[in-house]
Amino acid sequence: MSRVEKQGDEGVTLLRLLSKDELVRIIVDDAKNWLAHDGVWFQAIEKKYGIDVAVELDIEAWRHFTVIEAKRIMDRLDMKPGGGIPALVECLKHRFYARLNLQDCIEVSDRRVVFRMLECRVQSARKRKGLANHPCKSVGIVEYSEFAKVIDSRIKTSCIACPPDEVPEEFCCAWEFSLPEEI
């Protein structure tokens, strides 16, 4: 039992009384709230200081958050670092984004995987608001590289396509994760 639960936190106690379907609905809603906060934070910085400063600050925020997220996922899954591509593929399924966006992994092997974001709530929300695509490539390079390094420090990350690059219709962004050839 955690310290919060020992204190009798009503929020945690309430969760214990809910059905699996209710818990899933709350998890998805909490993920939406997290993403909404991330979005309004970014837009506030963008409005006041411009897109370049907003992206610069977003990179620094993701540099730290993605490591925290990866470590917590690994703890939850009782996973040790060094699990290679299979461990990364599993951890990607447990990210906040996996609860909100449509994503897949293709070309999966022990040495390489291509991860694609098929539908992205961030880009969809910006389009609905009449905003340009979020130029997230520079953020994604840091986010995905740091996430993968926590899972296995040998994993190399490269961008296949991500805004502001042109991206094909079938995905919003795509990333390649690979392990170097054995020596």
How large is the average pLDDT for residues 19-24?
A: 94
pLDDT of residue 6: 57
pLDDT grade, residue 183 (50/70/90)? Answer: very low
pLDDT in tens, 44-70: 999 999 999 999 999 999 999 999 999
pLDDT more than 90, % of the chain: 72
pTM: 0.86
Give the whole-angstrom CA distance, residue 176 versus residue 11: 39
Give the whole-angstrom CA distance, residue 44 versus residue 63: 20
How large is the average pLDDT for residues 122-140?
A: 87
pLDDT in tens, 34-45: 998 998 999 899
Answer yes or no: is pLDDT of 134 > 50.
Answer: yes
Give all domains of the chain, ordered by start, each with its CATH number: 55-178 (3.30.1380)
pLDDT of residue 3: 55
Q: Quickly tell me which residue has 């929300």 as its tokens.
A: 125
pLDDT of residue 10: 80
pLDDT of residue 20: 93
Answer yes or no: is pLDDT of 2 > 60.
Answer: no
Answer yes or no: is pLDDT of 19 > 70.
Answer: yes
Burial of residue 8, with CB atoms counted within 10 A of its CB: 0-12 exposed, 13-18 middle, 19 or more buried: exposed
